[in-house]
Structures are given as C-alpha cells and as structure tokens.
Amino acid sequence: MKLGDLLVSDGLLTPQQVESALRAQVMWGGRLGTNLVELGLADLDALSRALGRQHKLPAALARHFERGDRELQRLLSADVAERFACVPLLRVGESGEDVVVAVIDPLAAKPNAIVADELGVAPDRIIQSVAAELRIRYYLERVYGIARDVRFLRSRGPTVPAYPQFTEAPPEEPSSAPDVDIPIDIAPPDIVTAIPNIVTEKDELTTPVSISTATVVSSKPSADPAPRPIPRRAQTAPIAPPPRAASPAESLDDLTAYIVTDDDASATPAPAPIVDEPSGRDRRQYVRTLADMVDPGLPTGLEHKTLGRIAIRRVAVNAEPNAASSFPEVTRAIRRATDRERIAELAMAAIDRFAPTCEAAMLLIVRGEVAIGWKGFVRSKEPPPEFAVPLDRPGLVVVARRNTTARCSAHDLGQIDRLLLEALGHDDGDLVVVPVAVAGQVVCMIATATAPDAPVAAVEAVAAAAAAAFARLMQAAGR
C-alpha cells in the first residue's frame, strides 16, 4: 500500500493533507514523507513507524540513531553508505552477532550482501530497519561527512506554506491551440523596473497574495500552531522479520526488542551533533543564502564576500530541445512534460536557445523564506553555482514573488541582487526575475542575466509554459 493511502486508512491524516504534500512534492521533489514533515503534518519518529508498517520492517527512531556505535559505523565505507542510503546503528543479540542497519528503502539481496561484507557479518545477520529520508540523509552527513543537498536543509521562516488546493481543474489545453512564435526583436511587455531597496521586509510580509481559482491549504490547523505529529497506533499489525534469523521483535513496530536495555553500555555514544537533527532535539542547520555572504553591518555598497566563501556545487541543464523544434513546439513540450525534472531541463534549454540576449538563467524554487537554485546555465562558462536567495531581504526576487516580472540594471542593484547577478556569472547588463505562478501563487522564478534593455518576452513565455505544466502535475497529484 502506498504511504499516503496507509496514513489515510489508519486515520492519521486526511486525504486533503496528503494531497497538499503531494502538490508540494511536485515543486520541491523529495519523498512524500519528507514533504509531510516539512509541512508540519508529521514528525520523523511517527513517519518512520508508518514506513515500517508499509515495508514490514522495524522502525529506527531518534533514540536508536543517538546510540549509534561509532566503531561499527566506521567499518562501512562512505561510498557504500551513500550508494545505498544506509547507516549502521548497533550490534544486537546475546553476543552481538546481529547488526542493525537503517535504510530509506529495503535493501535487495546484493546490496544487503555488500553491506554485510563490509561490516564483517553474514548477510542473514543484517537487521534492516527503516527510517525517514530526512533522518537518513542527516546521519549520512553526521557520520560520513556526506553533505546533504540543499533540498534536505530546512528553510528559514516559521513555517513552509502549503501549495494551492484547486477548487476546480485548470482548463485543459486545446489540442489545436494556436502557436505564436516569439521573434527576438519583439517589444518587451510591461515590466516592473525596481530598485530593490524600495521594497521592505514589512511590505513583503504584509502584501496579500491573490489566489485565483484556488484556496491555500494551511500546513497547520489554525487552532493549533504546533506541527501535527502522526500518533503512534495503539495496536500494530505483526511485522514480518527482516532478512536474518528469527527476530524477537516480530510483533513490535520499532527496534526496542532488539536492544537489551535502554542503558546498554555496549553502544558507543555518537559524536556531537552537527546542529541539525530534524527531530527538533538540536539546533537546526538552515539553507545558507546569499545574505550569509554579507558581513553584518556593512553598508549597501560594493563591499561583499565572494561566492567562494560558501561551499557550492555547480548545477547544469542536461537536456536540450530537438534542434529542429520551433519555439512554439518547445513551449508546448514544456507544458506537456511529465515530471518536474523534465520541465526544468526543457525550460532552461529553451531560454538558452531562443533568448540569445539572455546570458545566463537559473530556475529558483520557492521554499518558505528562500528561493533555491535548481537548474541553470551560463553561456560559454561553467554552469552557475547552487545557491539560495533570501525572501526576507529587499531584492528583485522579493518583487517577483508578487507575481510580476522585476528588472534592474547592474549599476542600480542592491546588495543581494548584485550577489545574485554574480552567481549567474555576470557583473553588468540587467538582472531580470520572471515569476512562475500556479493559481496566482508564485512557486518558482527564473532569474536571468540579460543585455541592457533587451526584451524578455521569450523568457516570460517559457515561464508561462512551465506554470501550466506544474499546475497540471499538481492537479494530477491531488486526484
């Protein structure tokens, strides 16, 4: 049974709550459980128990990870841990002949044998236990130094808003919809030319968002601002034992029965946390943004830290539209793309090809109070770095969040916007940010470095096509 169906059938979540997470998944990626946690609809331990019931494996909870045996964990190479997304936890049994390994998905026979070989035990002595994706990736970083993707870091802000709940289906695209080519020399549409410093945090936080043909599903009940955890069931169905010898925990939903006592001193304490156990026990590590590169107290001027001060990795477009395709054919392909990755790849490739005055572009995903770089390109240079733009600081991205194209020349940019232009590999020309909105709510943006006063109609057409594609996928996710 699918996780969402399981949670609904158990009465732990409503269909509307699951649909909200599925729509968020369309934009943010990650697994359904990850999105449920981020929307405040589940906590990690309860989610792990639900995953355990789904996979018929015991659940690895926060207390089991905290007691992880460091000597045991050192036996498994970081390469294998990353490859199979698994973390060894404890030796259990009367003589410690069994090893508990936490996984995101159950390991097949061959991966299980590889892990067992590195840990020095027989494959049937591995006790697989399931844990939430967020927790596994946190401990891969904590134990093995495998950095998490920005996707799995918490964004700043009190809560992450849910995505639109459609009250009616978006209109279907006619099969014979007229195609309008976008000539390169077309006159630019009306664009808000903004000096970011005129936008204040107060303005942004108090500006109402117009939601057309949609209502927003709150990620938390209005009467209870605290995240709603999934309660543990009073009774759980028997769980089939993991691939090993007979287990003492066949009727339990976590690893408790495998461990002799909670005070068992045989387990080596885990190292100090890296300030982000997502269960809320420790301080969180947040997504680092361009604002983190600016020294506190610096005036709004040319003084700023370089991008090299933040560890970054390059992101690139991996697909191109067919060389024979026209612009209308490419935008139609974007609208009909079947997954988020394909939408992003086609959108960036279309701008690369059909907007020659656009020197660089990056698709930014809105999550909470940040917009995170996802896919992009820079002409004749390395792809742009992975970065995030704060939405609580004045800038063009904040203006575009109001569902209007924002533009400013390089010499008039504020501090954050100059860093954004630098991240796109340029220090001159214009910075243009085009919103991608679903039902009036901006879910992502396209940031571009373009020639001064050059038209951006092609970029806006790509943004409209991407918005239609994301709306269709969100609609399908809620069915």
pLDDT of residue 354: 94
DSSP 151: G
pLDDT at 98 over 90: yes
Which pLDDT value is given to residue 144? 95
Same domain? 305 vs 282: no
Least confident of 115-119, 160-164, 275-279: 275-279
Q: Is residue 176 part of a domain?
A: no
Name the domain boundary from 286, 315, 332: 286
Average pLDDT (104-133) is 95
Mean per-residue pLDDT, 294-298: 47
> pLDDT averaged over the chain?
74
Asked if 232 and 208 sit in the same domain, the reply is no
Q: Which two tokens stand for residue 446?
A: 């396209």
Structure tokens at 339: 């997954």
- Co-location of 267 and 408 in the same domain: no
Residue 457 in this model has a pLDDT that exceeds 90: yes
| Distance, CA of 323 to CA of 321 (rounded, Å) | 6
Asked if residue 336 belongs to a domain, the reply is yes
Residue 187, domain member (yes or no): no
Out of 27-31, 156-160, 230-234, which region has the weakest mean confidence (pLDDT)?
A: 230-234
Same domain membership, residue 430 and residue 344: yes
Residues 397 and 281 in one domain: no
Total domains present in the chain: 2
Rounded CA separation 271/197 (Å): 44
In angstroms, the CA 336 to CA 303 distance is 45
Residue 222 within any structural domain of the chain: no
Let me know if residue 175 belongs to a domain: no
Tell whether 95 is covered by a domain.
yes
Check whether 278 has a pLDDT greater than 70.
Answer: no
Would 250 be classed as within a structural domain? yes
**Predicted model pTM:** 0.68
Q: How far apart are CA 444 and CA 145, in angstroms?
A: 30
pLDDT tens-place string over residues 183-200: 433 333 344 554 333 333
Dihedral over Cα of 86, 260, 250, 9: its sign? negative
What percent of the chain is predicted at pLDDT more than 90?
44
pLDDT tens readout for residues 323-373:
547 999 999 999 999 999 999 999 999 999 999 999 999 999 988 888 888
Question: Helix (H) and strand (E) counts for the chain?
Answer: 15, 12
Quick one: what percent of the chain has pLDDT higher than 70? 64
User: Would 76 be classed as within a structural domain?
Assistant: yes
What domain range includes position 92?
1-166+227-286
- CB pairs under 8 A, 24+ apart, for 317-324? 317/345, 317/348, 317/349, 317/352, 317/375, 317/376, 317/377, 317/383, 318/345, 319/345, 319/346, 319/349, 320/349, 320/352, 320/353, 321/346, 321/349, 321/350, 321/353
Q: What is the CATH number of the domain that holds 237?
A: 3.30.300.160
Residues 311 and 449 in one domain: yes
Helix (H) or strand (E) holding 98: strand 98-103
Task: Note the pLDDT of residue 266.
Answer: 43
Question: Over the stretch 40-51, which tens digit does the pLDDT of each residue have?
Answer: 888 899 899 999
Residue among 345, 342, 343, 377 at smallest CA distance from 361: 377
Sign of the C-alpha dihedral, residues 86, 90, 94, 95? positive
Pair (365, 261) in one structural domain? no
Same domain, 261 and 387: no
pLDDT single digits (tens) 214-246: 333 333 333 333 433 333 333 333 333 344 433
Contact of 104 with 85, CB cutoff 8 Å: yes
DSSP 213-248: TEEEPPSS-TT--S--PPPPPSS-------SSS--T
| Rounded Cα–Cα distance for residues 221 and 38 (Å) | 15
Query: What is the structure's pLDDT at 183?
Result: 40
**According to the model, what pLDDT value does residue 288 have?**
66
> Which residue among 286, 309, 325 closes a domain?
286
Q: How confident is the model at residue 286 (pLDDT cuts 50, 70, 90)?
A: low
> How far is residue 223's CA from residue 340's CA, in Å, rounded to a whole number?
34
Q: What is the mean pLDDT of residues 424-431?
A: 93
Average pLDDT over residues 428-433: 96
Give yes or no: residues 458 and 358 share one domain.
yes
pLDDT of residue 27: 84
| CATH number for the domain that contains residue 347 | 3.30.450.40
State whether 243 and 310 are in the same domain. no
Clarify whether residues 250 and 201 are in a common domain: no
Interatomic CA distance for residues 410 and 421, integer angstroms = 8
Question: Does one domain contain both 311 and 451?
Answer: yes
